[in-house]
Amino acid sequence: MTALKRVEGPGVETQPGTRTKVLLADDQPSALRVLTETLESSSYEVIPVTTGDAALAVLLGPNPPQIAVLDWTMPGCDGPSVCRRVRAARKDTPFYFILVTAHGDADSMVSGLSAGADDFIAKPCRPDVLLARLRVGERTVRAHDEAKRTSSYLRTILSYVDSGMLLSDPAGQVVFANDRLAHLVGMQTVPQKGSERTTVCTLLGARAVDPRGTVAQLISAADASQTGGNVDLELAKPARAVIRWTTRPVPLPNGVGRLDVFRDATAEVHAAEQREKLAMTDATTQLPNRALGVQLIARELSRARRELAPLGVVMMDIDHFKQVNDRHGHPMGDKVLAAVAAIIQSTVRGSDACVRWGGEEFLLLLPRANVEAAATLAERVRVRIEALDVEGMPRVTVSLGAAELAAGETSLDPAIARADALLYLAKSSGRNRVGRR
């Protein structure tokens, strides 16, 4: 036989097998029996007790009923005392307490509500009134349970999010923080509700490469009237890392708060740096390419003018390089370019820069070197390349020209042009030499 649904009232129905547990506490056995029969006939699971102490034991025990109908006056603990003690002991459990009392005056109602009661029923208790009040209690408990479950689901989801999340109210106090935030900030525990946003910012900032500037940057966003933004924070402790911080004002029930999201962007930033490096690096020689060379020229030119120091340049070209490609193929040509670049790198100073200027042509930037020092280095490079002997690779020579930035010049282009002219003078004079006037 198919079981039927029990309709509890307009819009409320309970499926078979889902009986709501209710605690009934009354020191009068006859009244307790009548109410128990009434509730059980309406598919409630009833736990009857005759003393306040027994009610307290059930409500503080394992898997307690969330709805309790308590007589105000009972042996041991009275109804209000049961409410008060259970509320204090189990703050996270959404109980619904109904006091049954002959005290109908306003002072008694205030006293009962202050103790933690949710509703009152006057004695003698009418069964239909009790059932109606229980339905209110069921809806209330169900709503509390649903809110608690939703909060639990949300916290679980956010605990698995890779980003640290911090929500603060208009006063700058923490409303919510997830576990990941504690890890990124370096805290032992998750920031508690009511703690200060600035405290979290200070702890994170203390790990930064620039602690003072970072803390000021983070705390300045505490004013919810500001717009959102993104900042990459470079951390030094316990290891180098980059935290991408996103902050924005968000509407809250009590005004405008702030949502801070902290994400570990170390791998992403590193990948971007590598892509930029590859874009500025010649793949064959692993030297800076011309695009990066232009930036290096600007940097060294600025430094030379600021320090009133000489700046030498050397232009270099591999002799008869086209013949290498024609006779041995382009892979061999690439091998020669890489070998020549390695010789240059091992010959120049740490402060010098060598750029693959184009084709078989190289540019050397020599800070604090005048034309004589530049020519001396160029000759050293020439000699070492002439002596290069790699099995299976044709021997090559280079021609070079050396110059320096002249007084009053605001661009390195004239010096490069002078070095280039001397390079071609070396080629027209027989190659494998440093051009001189």
Q: Tell me which residues are annotated as active site.
A: 360
DSSP 303-343: HHHHHT--EEEEEEEETTHHHHHHHH-HHHHHHHHHHHHHH
Give long-range contacts, CB 8 A cutoff, 24+ apart: 340-349: 340/285, 340/385, 340/388, 340/396, 340/398, 341/285, 341/286, 341/287, 343/381, 343/384, 343/385, 343/388, 344/316, 344/381, 345/287, 347/377, 347/380, 347/381, 347/384, 348/377, 348/381
Dihedral angle at the C-alpha atoms of 315, 320, 323, 328, nearest 10 degrees? Answer: -70
Q: Which residue, among 401, 398, 383, 397, has the nearest Cα to 437 in the 3D structure?
A: 401
**How many CB atoms lie under 10 A from the CB of residue 4?**
7
């930064």: which residue's tokens? 208
> Measured between alpha carbons, how far is 304 from 290 in angstroms, rounded to an integer?
20
For 109-253, list the strands marked E by DSSP.
119-122, 164-168, 174-177, 229-235, 241-252
Number of H helices, E strands in the chain: 14, 17
SS3 419: helix
Count of CB atoms situated within 10 Å of the CB of 66: 22
* Side chain identity at residue 353, one-letter code: A
Half-sphere exposure (CA, 13 Å, Cβ side) for 427? 17
- Round to whole Å and give the CA distance between 155 and 152: 5
Distance CA 91, CA 86 (A): 8
Q: Which amino acid is at 298?
A: A
Whole-Å CA distances, 341 to 35, 173, 194, 255: 97, 59, 62, 64
Record the tokens describing residue 410, joined without a space: 């605001």
Cβ-Cβ contacts under 8 Å for 350 (sequence gap 6 or more): none
Orientation angle between helical segments 79-89 and 52-59, nearest 10 degrees: 20
Distance, in Å, from the CA atom of 276 to the CA atom of 63, rounded to the nearest integer, reads 61
